Structure 1
Amino acid sequence: MDHNGLSAEDDEAMREFMPASFGKQHTSVNVEAQIERCRRVPQNPAKAAEEKDSDDDSDSDEDDDDEFPISHELIIKTHDRAVTTITLDPSGTRLVTGSNDCNIKLHDLSAMTPTTIRAFKTVDPFSTKPSAAAESHSVHQVLFSPHSGNQFLVITATSQARLFSRDGDLQTEYQKGDMYLRDKHNTKGHTSEVTSGAWHPTNRDRFVTAGTDSTVRIWDVNKRFKQEEVIVHKSRMAGSAGMTRMTAIAWGAAAEGGSSILVAAALDGSLVMWGGEGPYHRPTGEIRDAHAKDTWTSGLDISADGRLVITRGGDDTIKLWDTRKFKTPVSTVSHISTSSQYPSSNIKFSPNSSSVITGSDTGHLHILNPATLRPEVVIPVTPASPLITVNWHPKLNQIFTGSANGQTTILFNPTISTNGALTILSKAPKKRHIDDNASLTTDMDPLGMAGDSVGSGGKGGPHAGSFAARHPTIGLTASGKSRDPRRPHMPATTPFAKSTPDQRHVRENIAFSEMRDEDPREALLKYEPKKGEEKLFTGAWDVNQPNAVYKDYDSDEEREAKRVKKSLQTFAPKRFYANINTIPATTNPHPTTTLCLTRSVQLKILNMFSSTFRATSRLATIPSARSFSSTPRASLARMSIIGRLGTAPEEVTVSGDRTLVRYVIGTSYGKAENQKTSWFRVASFVQGAQKEFLMNVQKGSLLYIDADARMEVYTDTEGNKKSNLSLVARNFDVLQRPRNQEEHAQDANDEGLVEGR
C-alpha cells in the first residue's frame, strides 16, 4: 500500500489500462487463457449421483471429458424464443439456426471473435411477400446438404419447403398441393403442414419431406412444380379414415451390399421403412405399434452403417431398432418427451455411431450407449430450460445444442476438437467503437442532421442518405411505432402462452372434450322411460306398433357381395356371353385384335348392339374416338365386360415414347358340365399412377371394363372371312381381389386360354 492508498494489484490494473506509448498498439492475445475461461463448471457431485446410474460411479468426469467433446462450452444468444433446429455446412464454417421466433440466423464461425459472437444475417423465410398481411411461421428444420455447403433446406409450419443459398437468399419455393383432391397421388405437393425433411445420403439433388397429409414426397431440387414420387401412408388406426400425420423422417446411407433406406414415423404410432431407391408402392417393413398412438414421435435417426434406427417417441420412451429384423425393438428406455410442446425435439447418432445424444426437459444433454441406451454422460447445459435440438458435427467434433430459452451452446474439447469454437477463441477481442452501433450515431450531410429532415413539398420523412432510409424496416418511427409494417408488437407473456395444454389432461378432466367418441344411440336411450312409465314422445306407438322394430345392418362382406352381384346383373347379360364362341388365337393374323368370331356370331352381336350403343357411340368426342384408331366414330360401340384377369398386364410401346397396357379378360358362361370361357384382349392407354395401379393388379382379379368396341372383317390364309373385335378400355375398376390359389390354377387351365397371348 503506497501513500496514495493504492495496492500493488490496483497499480497493476491501472498500468494495463493506461497506454505505455503513443501510436498504434500491437496487442497480443492469450489463447490458452481465453479457452480456459470457457471451461464448463463441474457438475454438483450430489446431482451427478442422481443423474447417473450406480454402476457408473467408477468413471470420473475427467475421463468423460477426454472421451467426449464436452469439457468447454461457448454460448451464442441470438434468438428471442426457443431454438428448434441447428445445422452446419460440411466444412463447419457456416452455422444456421432456426427458432420459434420465425427467423433464421446465419453465423460465420470463421469470422467471429470473442466479443462479436452474433449472427451476421437474420432471414425471415416469408420476407419475399412485402405486404402488411404477410404470414410468419415457426421454423421446424434447417438442413444443409451433406454434399454441398452452397444451399440449405428450410422446413416451416407450412405446406411448402424452401431452398436457400448459404448466404440466406431464397432460391426455390416448392409447389403446394391442391387440398381438395381426395387422392393424394394426384397432388403436386403437400396439401397441409410439412413436419420434417431429409437429404439423400449420396445424391445431392434429391431430398424428402413428410407432412401432416399422410404423405412422404421425394423431390428434385431442380424441379419445383411437382415432386418425383408420392408415398401415401395408409393408417390402420380406427376412426382415422386411412389418414394420419407423418411426424419425422430420415434417409439413411446404404448398408453393406444394399441400398439406402427411408424410415418415417407417424402419429398413429407406426414406424415404416422403404427402400431408398424404390419401389415405393409397398414398404419393406412396418411396425404398427412402435410407439403409443396419438403421440408425436419427434426424434428419428439412422446409424452411419444403415443397420440401426433410433426413435424418441411422445410416449416417454427411446427405442433402438435393427433394420435387418424390423419387428421388435432391440432396446427400450424411459425418457421424458418434450414433443408435445416442441415437436422438433430430436435425437442423433454420433458421427461414428458409437454414441447417441439427445436433450431432456430439464436442460441436460444425455450421451447414451447405443447397445443398452443407458446414459454414459449427463451434463447440464441450460438448467430449468428444456434442451430441444442437438447436432454433432463430424469434422469439428463439436456438439451444438439449442434450448427453449433461445440459447445456442457449442460444446468442445481443445484436445480432440478442431476449428469451430477454437477458431473464435484463438482471435484477439475486437475493440468496439461507438460507430459500430448504428442506433447511437447520427448521419450528417452538408445541410445538417438528416435523420428527421423535412423534404420539399411539405412531406416529412427520412432523408435519402440517412440510416432510416437505408434500413426502412429497422427501428422505430418518431411516434414510437415499428418501421416494419408486417410485424406487430410481441404479445404479453401470460400463463396460457407459456405452454401447450396436455391432450391427456384435457381429455380426462374437461367435460365434453371427447363428444365425438360418444355413441349417439346410447345417449338417446338414456332418456327411454323404464317399464311401467308413460312414454312422453312415443306413446302413440304402443297401440299402432307395440313391438319395436329396428333396422338390420349388413356386414362389410354382405354389402360387398351385394354390390358385386348387382354389377354382374347390370353389366353382364347372359344372352350376350352365350352367343360368343372362341377361335384359337393361332388363326388370327392381327396381333392387336382381341377376339375372333364367325360371321353368324358377328351378326348377332351387331344386332344386339345397334339399338343400344349406336346413340352412345355418336356422342363420343373426336379425341376419345381417335385416341387409339383412325376409324370414324360412327363405327364404334360401347361395351361393358366383367371377368377375371387371365394374364398379368403387359406394357407395350406403340410408337416413340407412347405406351399402352395390354391384358386378357376371361368370362365364363353355361352350366358346370358345359361351361365355356371367352377371352378378350384389352388395351388401355393409361399413364402415371393409373398405369402403376393397373400393372400391379394380380392375376385372377374380377375387373369391370368399359371399352370402345370395333368390328373388323378380314380373310384368313384359307380364304375364309372372319371378324375381329378390338377393345380399348375407357374405364376399369377392380370388383374383387383374387380368390385362393386353387381357383387361380383352375382359371389358368380353363379351355380357350392360350399360353403367350
Structure 2
Amino acid sequence: MTDKDGSELAQVADESKKPSKKARSFDVEALFSESRQIAQERNRETLESREVEEAETRRRLEDEMHISLPGPSGRHSDEDNEIGPPLPPSMMKSADSANDSDDEIGPPLPPNFQMPTASSSGASTSKDVEDSGLDDEDDYDDFTDEGISVAQLIPTASEATVRHGSKSVSAIAFDSQGSKFVTGGYDYHVNLYDFARMDVSLKPFRETTPVECHIISSLAYSSNGENLVVASGNAQVRLLDRKGTQWAETVRGDQYLVDLSNTKGHTGSLNGAMWNPMNKDEFMTCSDDGTLRLFNVTDYKDITKCINTQRQVIKTKTSNGKRAIPTTCCYSKDGKYIAAGCDDGSIQIWKYGKLYVNTTFLNRNAHAGSITSLQFSYEANTVLTRGLDDTLKLWDLRKFKEPIHVADGLENHYPMTECGFSPRDELVFTGTSTRPGKAPGKLVFFDLINFKPVYQIEYPNASCIRAQWHPKINQILVGLSDGTAKIYYDPVRSVRGVLQCVSKPIKRERQTEVLREEIIMSPLALQMFQPRGEEGEEKDVTEWRIKKFLRMQNTTGGKRPAFKKPAEAPMSGPSAGGRVAASGGTLHSYIAQQVGVKRNREFLADHDVRASILRHAEEAAANPIYVAKAYLKNQPVPIFQEKTTAPEDEIVDEELQPVFKMPKT
C-alpha cells in the first residue's frame, strides 16, 4: 500500500466519523392535505357518533311509547337513525347533498335562522333570495376549499347570554387574544369578563363606574391587553388596567380658547376611542369639540396622575371651513391611515405620520346623516360606513367618490350603531334598531361581492347596537338595547372563548361553620387594667400575665415588663387626687358662688341702674386709674343729672315732657 492510498483511506475514515447534517425539507401542500383529511375524519366520527346516539334515543322512545316514529322522509322505518318531524321540501336537497358528500363539514343552520323578508332596495325579498340561489351551496364554492356555504361560515350554531344591566349596552370590546371582553352601557357601568375565570353563569369578575353620571360611548383594549381606554360623555379619557382599576386619565382642555390646538386635552364629550394596532402605547379619541387627538401613555406623570398633553391634534372641518364634529374614528388594520366620520355625513381620511392639515381621502356627501360607525377591511383597501340615514355603504379608496355597494332600509336610532367585516373579508354585518310595536331589531349579514343579505338574526323588542366578530376565536359579541349581550359561537369551528365557560358548572359556595359567641366586655374588666398589689406585685398571677412576661423577657433582654397603669375611675364625688370637681364641690367654691350670686342679686334689685353707677363718680374723679387720667388736662367737666326719678307727690310739668309722652287732646 502506497502512502497515497493510505492518505485516501484516512481521509475516508475521517469523513465517515463526521456527523451528517442535512436540511429538512417540508412539503407544505402535503401537510395541508393531511391536516384537512384528519379534520374531515374527526368530523365524520363526530357525526357518526351523533347519529348513533340519535338512533338509540329513537329506539328508546319507541319502546316506551309503543309507537313507530317517522323518519325524515315520512316513512316508518326501524332502520332510520334520525328522529323528529319530516324535513320541508326546500331542505330535502341540502340534506341529501350533505349525506352524499363526505367533504362537507359543519353543523346545520341554527333554529333562529330566518331568510330576509325586507322588500326595500337594499334588502331582497324571500322570492329574490330563492331566485338568487342562496340555498344552492355550489354558488359559494369560491369562498372555501371545502364547498361550505357562506351562511355556515357564520358561527351562530350556539349562543350564550350575558346580563349587563337594565339599560342599553352602548359599548363592547374584545382583547386581541380573545381571552377577555368588556361591556359598557347607558347605566354608566363597565363590566369586565374573563373567560378563564367564568363558569356557566357568565358573571363579570369586576363591575366599576369609571365616570359617574356619563354614558359609556366607547371601549377598546390595547394590543397587548394591558390597558383599557374608556370614552364617555365626559371630556376626560379614563385608562384602566387589566384588573379594572383606573390608573390614569387625560387632562381636561381649556374651553375658553378659540384655537383648539393650543389646549392639552378635549373640551367636549367623547364619541369614540381606539388603540393603534401597531403601537401598544398610542390611542386616538374623537370629541364634540371638533378634534381628533393622539395620546401616548408614556406621557403619564406620577405627580398629576394623568397624561398632561397629546402628541397630535387633528381638526375636522366642513366644506365652509367651520367645525365638524367627528362622531366615530378608527385606524386601518395596518396602521397606515386614520379615518373619521362626522356629523355632516362626510368621511375624512389622513395618512398616518404626516401633517394632518389636508386629508388624503375626502368625501363630503358620503351619508345624508351622521355617521355612527366606520371600519377598514383587513386588506385596508375598502371602508365600511354606517349612518343614521338607515344605510350601509362600502367604499373603495381607489375610487372614493362613489360607493361600491349600498344597502338601504336598515333602521337606525342609536348614534353608536356598529358595522364590521368578517375575519376573511367575505361578509359584512351591521345591526338595526326597532320601535315598540314595529319590526324587531336584527343583526344582518351581507355578501361582500354582491351585497345581498345572506343571514340575519332577529331580536324581538330589542335593537342591535354593537357587534364585533373576533378573528382568532371565531366568535361574535353583540350588544342589545335590553341590557343583554349575546355571544355566538360554533362548537366545531370556534376555539376557546366562551367554550371554556359553558362547560363549567356553577361552583357551590362552601358554608364555613363558625361558632360565634357574643361577649360583652367592659374595658375596666380586662387583665391589663386590673389593680396592682403592694410593691408593684400583682394580686392575681394569671396565664395571660405569665405569657406576656415571657414575651417581654425575650424581647427586652430579661428586663421586667412595665404593665400598663390601670385607668382611673370617673370622679363622682368631691374634688380629690388633684382633680377639681364642678363649681360647688368644695367649701371654698360654694362660698365664692354664694357671694357672687348675692352681689348680682343686689345689683339687679336696684331700680335706678344709672344712679348705682354714678355713685362711684366721686371716687373715680379723685383717683383716676384708666382712661380719665390721660385726658385730665383737656377734658371738660362732665355735668350729670343728680336725680332721674321724681317723687310720687311731685307734680309733673307737662311742658317738660317729650312730645310722644304728652296726652292727645
TM bin (shorter chain) = 0.5 to 0.7
Question: Equivalents in 2 of 1:67, 1:447: separation in Å?
Answer: 64
> Aligned with 2:298: secondary structure?
coil
1:228 to 268, 286, 311: 311
Change (3 A) 1:166 1:42: same
Offset at 1:63?
Answer: 4.4
Offset at 1:378?
Answer: 1.2
Where do residues 696-707 of structure 1 align in structure 2 (5 Å cutoff)? none
The answer to whether residue 482 in structure 2 is matched with residue 368 in structure 1 is no
The answer to whether residue 238 in structure 2 is matched with residue 162 in structure 1 is yes
> Aligned with 2:230: secondary structure?
strand
Q: Which residue of 2 aligns with 1:332?
A: 406
Do the aligned partners of 1:313 and 1:337 also contact (CA within 8 Å) in 2? Answer: no
The answer to whether residue 419 in structure 2 is matched with residue 344 in structure 1 is no
Q: Which residue of 1 aligns with 2:254?
A: 178
Q: Which residue of 1 aligns with 2:24?
A: none
TM-score (norm 2): 0.55
Offset at 1:154?
Answer: 0.8
Offset at 1:67?
Answer: 1.8
Do the aligned partners of 1:347 and 1:356 also contact (CA within 8 Å) in 2? Answer: yes
Change (3 A) 1:109 1:38: farther
Do the aligned partners of 1:157 and 1:194 also contact (CA within 8 Å) in 2? Answer: yes
Offset at 1:47?
Answer: 6.2
Change (3 A) 1:42 1:95: same
2:170 to 63, 69, 84: 84
Question: Equivalents in 2 of 1:76, 1:37: separation in Å?
Answer: 24
The answer to whether residue 427 in structure 2 is matched with residue 355 in structure 1 is yes
Q: Which residue of 2 aligns with 1:41?
A: 111
Q: Which residue of 2 aligns with 1:609?
A: none
Change (3 A) 1:119 1:40: farther
Paired residue type of 1:356: V
Offset at 1:354?
Answer: 2.0
Offset at 1:225?
Answer: 0.7
1:144 to 209, 216, 221: 221
Offset at 1:136?
Answer: 1.6
2:156 to 70, 77, 86: 70
Where do residues 536-551 of structure 1 align in structure 2 (5 Å cutoff)? none
TM-score (norm 1): 0.48
Offset at 1:370?
Answer: 2.1
Do the aligned partners of 1:40 and 1:73 also contact (CA within 8 Å) in 2? Answer: no
Do the aligned partners of 2:151 and 2:454 also contact (CA within 8 Å) in 1? Answer: no
Change (3 A) 1:212 1:42: closer
Q: Which residue of 1 aligns with 2:327?
A: 247
Question: Equivalents in 2 of 1:455, 1:95: separation in Å?
Answer: 53
> Aligned with 1:53: secondary structure?
helix
Do the aligned partners of 2:316 and 2:325 also contact (CA within 8 Å) in 1? Answer: no
Any unmatched runs of 5+ in structure 1? 1-7, 13-35, 127-134, 437-441, 457-757
Paired residue type of 2:221: F
Q: Which has the higher helix share?
A: 2
Question: Equivalents in 2 of 1:182, 1:55: separation in Å?
Answer: 59
User: In the TM superposition, what whole-angstrom CA distance separates every residue of 1:440-496 from its partner, at most 9, and x where no partner exists?
Assistant: xx9984328xxxx9999xxxxxxxxxxxxxxxxxxxxxxxxxxxxxxxxxxxxxxxx
Paired residue type of 2:353: E
Question: Equivalents in 1 of 2:114, 2:360: separation in Å?
Answer: 48
The number of equivalent residue pairs is 392
> Aligned with 2:329: secondary structure?
strand
2:518 to 447, 468, 477: 447
Paired residue type of 1:343: P
Change (3 A) 1:71 1:65: farther
Change (3 A) 1:253 1:41: closer
Question: Equivalents in 2 of 1:231, 1:320: separation in Å?
Answer: 25
Where do residues 1-12 of structure 1 align in structure 2 (5 Å cutoff)? none
Question: Equivalents in 1 of 2:476, 2:432: separation in Å?
Answer: 15
> Aligned with 1:222: secondary structure?
helix
Change (3 A) 1:60 1:102: farther
Do the aligned partners of 2:151 and 2:455 also contact (CA within 8 Å) in 1? Answer: no
Paired residue type of 1:268: D
Change (3 A) 1:454 1:228: farther
Do the aligned partners of 1:358 and 1:390 also contact (CA within 8 Å) in 2? Answer: yes
Do the aligned partners of 1:38 and 1:74 also contact (CA within 8 Å) in 2? Answer: no
Question: Equivalents in 2 of 1:45, 1:217: separation in Å?
Answer: 43
Q: Which residue of 1 aligns with 2:558?
A: none
Offset at 1:351?
Answer: 2.1
The answer to whether residue 371 in structure 2 is matched with residue 297 in structure 1 is yes
Do the aligned partners of 2:116 and 2:456 also contact (CA within 8 Å) in 1? Answer: no
> Aligned with 1:446: secondary structure?
coil
The answer to whether residue 209 in structure 2 is matched with residue 120 in structure 1 is no
Change (3 A) 1:385 1:326: same
Q: Which residue of 2 aligns with 1:201?
A: 277
> Aligned with 1:203: secondary structure?
coil
Instruction: Report the RMSD for the aligned CA atoms in angstroms.
Output: 3.2
1:216 to 289, 292, 297: 292
Question: Equivalents in 2 of 1:39, 1:107: separation in Å?
Answer: 29
Do the aligned partners of 2:114 and 2:457 also contact (CA within 8 Å) in 1? Answer: no
Q: Which residue of 2 aligns with 1:400?
A: 477
Q: Percent identity over the alignment?
A: 30
> Aligned with 2:371: secondary structure?
coil
Change (3 A) 1:91 1:45: closer
> Aligned with 1:55: secondary structure?
helix
Offset at 1:430?
Answer: 2.6
Question: Equivalents in 2 of 1:156, 1:38: separation in Å?
Answer: 41
Offset at 1:109?
Answer: 1.1
User: In the TM superposition, what whole-angstrom CA distance separates every residue of 1:525-558 from its partner, at most 9, and x where no partner exists?
Assistant: xxxxxxxxxxxxxxxxxxxxxxxxxxxxxxxxxx
Offset at 1:242?
Answer: 0.7
Question: Equivalents in 1 of 2:479, 2:514: separation in Å?
Answer: 38
Change (3 A) 1:383 1:167: same
Q: Which has the higher strand share?
A: 1
Question: Equivalents in 2 of 1:279, 1:455: separation in Å?
Answer: 76
Paired residue type of 2:166: D
Paired residue type of 1:331: H
2:497 to 396, 420, 427: 420
1:306 to 380, 400, 407: 380
Offset at 1:110?
Answer: 1.7
Question: Equivalents in 2 of 1:407, 1:289: separation in Å?
Answer: 35
The answer to whether residue 465 in structure 2 is matched with residue 388 in structure 1 is yes
Offset at 1:349?
Answer: 1.2
User: In the TM superposition, what whole-angstrom CA distance separates every residue of 1:272-324 from its partner, at most 9, and x where no partner exists?
Assistant: 010012221111121111111xx321111001121111000111111111112
The answer to whether residue 356 in structure 2 is matched with residue 280 in structure 1 is yes
Question: Equivalents in 2 of 1:373, 1:398: separation in Å?
Answer: 22
Change (3 A) 1:275 1:121: same
Paired residue type of 2:176: P
User: In the TM superposition, what whole-angstrom CA distance separates every residue of 1:492-545 from its partner, at most 9, and x where no partner exists?
Assistant: xxxxxxxxxxxxxxxxxxxxxxxxxxxxxxxxxxxxxxxxxxxxxxxxxxxxxx
Any unmatched runs of 5+ in structure 2? 1-59, 65-105, 119-123, 138-147, 300-306, 434-439, 524-665
Question: Equivalents in 2 of 1:455, 1:39: separation in Å?
Answer: 73
Offset at 1:226?
Answer: 0.8
Offset at 1:43?
Answer: 3.6
Q: Which residue of 1 aligns with 2:566?
A: none
Do the aligned partners of 1:386 and 1:403 also contact (CA within 8 Å) in 2? Answer: yes
Q: Which residue of 2 aligns with 1:737?
A: none
> Aligned with 2:293: secondary structure?
strand
Do the aligned partners of 2:186 and 2:216 also contact (CA within 8 Å) in 1? Answer: yes
